[in-house]
Structure 1
Amino acid sequence: MINCKELRNKFKEQGCTFTIVCPTDPDYDKSRIIANSRFNYYPLAIGYCENAEDVSCAIKICKEAGLHLRIRSGGHQHEGMCSDNDVFIIDLSKIHTIRYTDNTNDYAWIPPGKKLQEVYKELESKNRIIPGGGCGSVNVGGLTQGGGWGLSARKYGLTADNIIEAEIVLANGKIVKANKDSYSELFWAIRGGGGGNFGVITDFLFKLSPLKDNVTTFELHWPKDKMLKIAKKWMQELPTHTCNLTTACRLSVTDQNTPSRTAILLVGQFYGEIPDLQKILQPFYDISKPTYELYESQTYTEIVNALLHSKKQSEPLPSLLAKRQTRLGSLLQPTVSLVKDEEAPTQTCDGPHPHKISSAFPIYDDALVDKIVTYLDNTKASEVVNLYLSLHGMGGAIQDFTEGPFPYRAKDFLLQFQAWWSNPEDPNTEKYIKWIEDFRTALQPHVEGAFINFPDASLVNRPDTPKGRIELLQYYYGDNLPKLIEIKKQVDPENLFSFGMSIPTET
């Protein structure tokens, strides 16, 4: 196999000037890190491409050299499949400049390497928003291609529902624009068909949505003994309420050994004013007054004034919407430190952490809630691992969008099973992984399917076999899988973009 120095020379000979990091370079160990530190891969090289032409060059030369490729936007693929040993990583993090199509600010090209926190902050200054995810360190690329759930989803749909065109580098190195009129089947596939399957997306054209006069966020806490009633009320009411409200509910394993951990967390974002939101949430107060409550509301005028203020003075900014969105997202995904006395990371978005996640959609009845609470109650809490279930509200605009390969739009909510810890060498790692697997199994037959933004290769016994791969992907794509395979065969007939959960070229 070609070594990294020889590869770098090949790129130079072809006039490709983007940065390539090799194992002998001082930045290599930092460059190879991905968000799930449970995986410790050593790629052959990392290429920091800066435009579509760089990506095209990387694809052509790696094909000539017989190298396997991985595509990395922000490195947050939960199963670590944006990297591997001895592969060439096409890193897109340097493609990160937003470009507006005109002065109306109704449309913008947002590239895959742009972090969500930066997207929200910049769009806020123009009275615009996209319905992205909650974790500010996640980049646009992988999130969008998987669908993308966030706290504006019931108002404006999934992230993928808001793109109207994409620039894509195909497996033959050709740079194309995919939309409803050109490469229309490919355009259908990338809006929920998972990242890295059909080519390398180097830009997304988004339809931007206006910020309403008031945007309110909230956070409510309850103790463990209210879990059954709060969870049941959430499933029955909030997912089908006004589309101006998107909520999520986190149910955690906790006991006397973890006194600082919140058992029940309800968060959300409401396009409206606090009194109107509190009326909607009154049924939860009727069950029990929260042990903690926080409501924050801001008008667009206040946001702009705060941004202007920050340029003139060094005082802390008021709680801008971008900051609040990512804070709520981090609350849904807390993690822990291994050592009690050291400063613990407060959330999963602040750096690499070992973790395991899975997902499912409900076949709802009262037994589902009972089984969830029973499983959590029967789990012993630990200070070194956070174990919990996050419920994400769907419906609203998500159900209204009829295009793309995401097959579960009719569902009222999504379940995300999560385990996060701090030490990649934790001797109980396999126990944490098994906890996730057993939790999902315990909810049968009340759940089905899975969400590709939350990938889990352990849903089937042998995902490394052709039959197992198809069985696994059917969880995520359902009846749309045959069409995705056909599109894959057309745009990537040699299966260049291949990894553990990629769409194959044949059944």
Structure 2
Amino acid sequence: MREIFDRRNFLRAAAVTAAGAAAACGRTPPEHTTATPSSGVPAPRAASSAPGTASAPAAGAPAATGARTAPSPADWKALGKGLTGRLIRPGDASYDAARRLFNTSFDGVRPGAVAYCADPDDIAECLAFARRTGVPVTSRSGGHGYAGWSTGTGLVIDVSRMNGVKVAGGRAVVGAGAQLVDVYARLAARGVSIPAGSCPTVGVAGLTLGGGLGVVSRKYGLTCDVLESLKIVTADGRLRTCDADHDPELYWASRGGGGGNFGVAVSFTFRTHPTRDVTVFYLHWPWSRAAKVTAAWQAWAPHAPDALWSTLHLSHDPTPDVLVAGLHLGPRAECERLLAAFAATAGTPSRRTVRQMPYLAAMMDLGGCGSRTVSQCHRRGDLPGQTPDGTFPRDSFRAKSHMAYRPLTSAGVAALVAQVGRGGRHTVLLDALGGAVGRPGPDATAFPHREALFSVQYYAHTAGAATWVRGAHAAMAPHFGDHAYVNYIDPELKNWRQAYYGANAARLAKVKAAYDPGRLFRFPQAV
């Protein structure tokens, strides 16, 4: 998810890092998704409370949605009139722009309507409509979900209008529709930030609800680790404020249990950390060094000081390349010392760039927006979440993931290098974990992969992408096991409950049964 980079843009930009460019979004969370699939969607997307029964919703929770008569044009019109926000229907001038996700692969999907909700009452109105009519409902924040499940043939609840960012007393209240570039920019103006990804147009909701890996997570934890409370509209239409003392099981589940399972998030309250200048680096080696760099990186990156995060890209897009990039929360001299220790094992890079810069500039650089303004680092348009001068591109891709709980053996390294070396346009992305990510227990939040050393993503573009991704993932499964990250949701994954949630799956199922007994929020991999 693509929570960190647009991997194609990243590799192009990393080749010219002296110009200050870096990357955009090569990995994205399922963005708060809650859809029933349509035929148009290609199949390839605080201390915890004690385990037990989740607190029960108020009386009147919806029964299971069954077959209903399709809503008439008059029904849709009535829904639109009942919203403070805007309902966009087929035939409206903005419909084609409103229905599109980040991934162009899903451009053929045509929702019955897209509701740009202005407040929780609008969300409740949409959920009541879905319960009454049986129309499938899905929620959308940034629209980056791998499987395309933030759209469908029914009603799309878009929360992009609810994008405020307020800072006070070491806390930030962030609207569920805020995009990461805006979160970083508004927090930076106050000298603070939160741990999050770098893809600028990813919505904060999907990122947080699935856990939230990011470039400062080794120092400050996952996005969900700094979440103190959230407001969420559940299936019964009730707005709930959840924290460790109020609806604690729903709060626990919302910290890594995956977007779209339990309700439509409205806002999040995060603990912030102060920002300072940081050091960003890009190191390249020739393909002949791929195995040696991989072996050295996996022994170094997950165990480096918490202030250092790095990613290893083994890429064939369009030619082979080995890249280690990252960020150090400190002065350049200290970063250089750590990189020298790594190079002593990996070998001297053939090309390198190491620069110190302000925190916001680093997030923009790592997000592929080093040469853009904040306003330009959006999709172009006049809908919520877009800007008139936006230049950030959409993409077409396929991806799968693993979570690595042990280092690769020499045979595993050789297998990985061989997969990347095949013809095509693809990349394997390894992102360092450890540090603060690994300190909570696996059941402290719904995100279970606390002991993983690094995440792995197989990412490909153009013709043959699906075939390569499937083959590479299958070839590496004996080496990495069956662990996967829900924010890199994979519609082809067989044992997805265990892969995403591990031992937390049963507890998540209890929360789902308590807060959505009628399964209003349903999609192929709904809890």
Aligned residue number for residue 48 of structure 1: 116
Aligned residue number for residue 59 of structure 2: none
Aligned residue number for residue 125 of structure 2: 57
Q: How far 1:138 sits from its partner (Å)?
A: 0.8
Aligned residue number for residue 6 of structure 2: none
Aligned residue number for residue 393 of structure 1: 432
SS at match of 1:290: coil
Shift in CA distance, 133/299, structure 1 to aligned 2, threshold 3 Å: closer
Q: Deviations over 1:143-180 (max 9, x none)?
A: 11111111101011111111100001010000010000
- What percent identity do the matched residue pairs reach? 30
Aligned residue number for residue 419 of structure 2: 375
Aligned residue number for residue 250 of structure 2: 186
Q: TM-score, normalised by structure 1?
A: 0.82
Q: TM-score, normalised by structure 2?
A: 0.79
In structure 2, the gaps of 5 or more residues are 1-68, 372-390
Shift in CA distance, 162/107, structure 1 to aligned 2, threshold 3 Å: same
Correspondence 1:244 to 2:283: no
CA distance in 2, matches of 1:217, 1:489: 45
SS at match of 2:115: strand
Q: How far 1:141 sits from its partner (Å)?
A: 0.9
**Matches of residues 311-330 of structure 1 in structure 2 within 5 Å?**
320-327=361-368
User: What amino acid sits opposite 1:117 in the alignment?
Assistant: V
CA distance in 1, matches of 2:178, 2:320: 32
Q: How far 1:17 sits from its partner (Å)?
A: 2.8
Larger RCO of the pair (alpha carbons < 8 Å, separation 6+): 2
Q: 1:207 aligns with which of 263, 266, 271?
A: 271
Q: Deviations over 1:26-67 (max 9, x none)?
A: 111111101122122111000000111111111112211221
User: What amino acid sits opposite 1:372 in the alignment?
Assistant: L
Q: How far 1:459 sits from its partner (Å)?
A: 2.0
User: What amino acid sits opposite 2:431 in the alignment?
Assistant: H
Q: How far 1:262 sits from its partner (Å)?
A: 6.1
Correspondence 1:356 to 2:398: yes
Q: Deviations over 1:215-270 (max 9, x none)?
A: 1111112221111111111100111110011111111125xxx4xx5611111111
Aligned residue number for residue 18 of structure 1: 85
Aligned residue number for residue 313 of structure 1: none
Shift in CA distance, 350/420, structure 1 to aligned 2, threshold 3 Å: farther
Aligned residue number for residue 497 of structure 2: 473
Q: How far 1:12 sits from its partner (Å)?
A: 5.2
Q: How far 1:3 sits from its partner (Å)?
A: 4.6
CA distance in 2, matches of 1:98, 1:7: 34
Aligned residue number for residue 132 of structure 1: 196
Aligned residue number for residue 83 of structure 1: 151
Q: How far 1:4 sits from its partner (Å)?
A: 6.5
Correspondence 1:417 to 2:458: yes
Shift in CA distance, 328/219, structure 1 to aligned 2, threshold 3 Å: farther
In structure 1, the gaps of 5 or more residues are 304-319, 331-348, 422-427, 461-470
Q: 2:491 aligns with which of 457, 480, 484?
A: 457
Aligned residue number for residue 297 of structure 1: 356
CA distance in 2, matches of 1:432, 1:283: 36
Aligned residue number for residue 289 of structure 2: 226
User: What amino acid sits opposite 2:510 in the alignment?
Assistant: E
Aligned residue number for residue 268 of structure 1: 326
Answer whether contact 1:228 1:373 (CA < 8 A) is retained: yes
CA distance in 2, matches of 1:136, 1:12: 30
Answer whether contact 1:69 1:89 (CA < 8 A) is retained: yes
CA distance in 2, matches of 1:401, 1:165: 18
SS at match of 1:350: coil
User: What amino acid sits opposite 1:37 in the alignment?
Assistant: T
CA distance in 1, matches of 2:434, 2:358: 26
Answer whether contact 1:239 1:393 (CA < 8 A) is retained: yes
SS at match of 2:488: coil
Q: Deviations over 1:83-140 (max 9, x none)?
A: 112x10000111111123x3x4x10111121110111111111111111112111111
Answer whether contact 2:164 2:175 (CA < 8 A) is retained: yes
SS at match of 1:368: helix
Aligned residue number for residue 3 of structure 2: none
Answer whether contact 1:4 1:22 (CA < 8 A) is retained: no
Answer whether contact 1:124 1:322 (CA < 8 A) is retained: no
User: What amino acid sits opposite 2:327 in the alignment?
Assistant: Q
Shift in CA distance, 369/357, structure 1 to aligned 2, threshold 3 Å: same
RMSD over aligned Cα atoms: 1.9
Aligned residue number for residue 18 of structure 2: none
Aligned residue number for residue 9 of structure 1: 77
CA distance in 2, matches of 1:247, 1:481: 30
Aligned residue number for residue 309 of structure 1: none
CA distance in 2, matches of 1:262, 1:220: 14
